[in-house]
Amino acid sequence: MTEPSQPETHDKAWEKAERQFANKTASQFYDPCQDFADRSLKCLKRNGYDREMCGDYFQAYRDCKKNWLNQKKAAPGSSDSN
């Protein structure tokens, strides 16, 4: 029996991931704070990975994440909203 070719294996893996993505819950793969995370990483690269230069970006990400998690907890149907 021969092994499947690389493209065929890749296609099957993508089909599985595509099904999972299509059937995902509302926020399983969506992070509204991803833009802040990306900006933080860009800042680090721009400034030679000097974290002190990017403090405002990190704080904006932390604030966004905190607000998002609080909204998720307060949302109707959330297991943490009791």
What pLDDT is recorded for position 75? 81
How far is residue 16's CA from residue 53's CA, in Å, rounded to a whole number? 41
How far is residue 82's CA from residue 39's CA, in Å, rounded to a whole number? 35
- Looking at per-residue pLDDT, the higher value among 70 and 75 belongs to 70
45 and 73 Cβ atoms separated by less than 8 Å: no
pLDDT-based confidence at residue 3 (cuts at 50, 70, 90): very low
Q: What mean pLDDT do residues 54-74 have?
A: 93
Tokens coding 69: 């998690």
What pLDDT is recorded for position 8? 57
Number of H helices, E strands in the chain: 3, 0
Chain centre distance of CA 34: 6
Residue in the structure block whose two tokens are 């990017």: 54
What pLDDT is recorded for position 1? 47
pLDDT-based confidence at residue 31 (cuts at 50, 70, 90): confident
